[in-house]
Amino acid sequence: MKKYHRGDEMRVRVERSGLEPNEGIAHLPDDTMVIVLGGGSRVGEVVDIVITSDIQTSLGESLLADLKA
């Protein structure tokens, strides 16, 4: 059963830049990685996000999220 769903809103700290220029990386308390689209310039900041989708990888679940407007 999924822990997180599309449309879930939460607050995260953007820890570092992602692979793409405008991506930021954050982690939830359970160590789920969140790729924050639009978060590349917000490293070190706490931001509000909305989950848009999830990705299952060999390392576990990762989430894609947009900055909340």
pLDDT digits (tens, 9 = 90+) for 25-53: 999 999 999 999 999 999 999 999 999 99
Q: Which fold has domain 9-67?
A: OB fold (Dihydrolipoamide Acetyltransferase, E2P) (2.40.50)
The predicted pLDDT at position 24 comes to 97
pLDDT (0 to 100) of residue 57? 77
pLDDT in the model for residue 1:
62
Alpha helix positions (H), 1-69:
none
What is residue 32's three-state secondary structure?
A: coil
User: Cα angle at 38 between 34 and 57, to 5 degrees?
Assistant: 30
Q: Domain residues of the chain, as ranges?
A: 9-67
Q: Is 30 buried (19+), middle (13-18) or exposed (0-12) by CB count in 10 A?
A: exposed
This prediction's pTM: 0.90
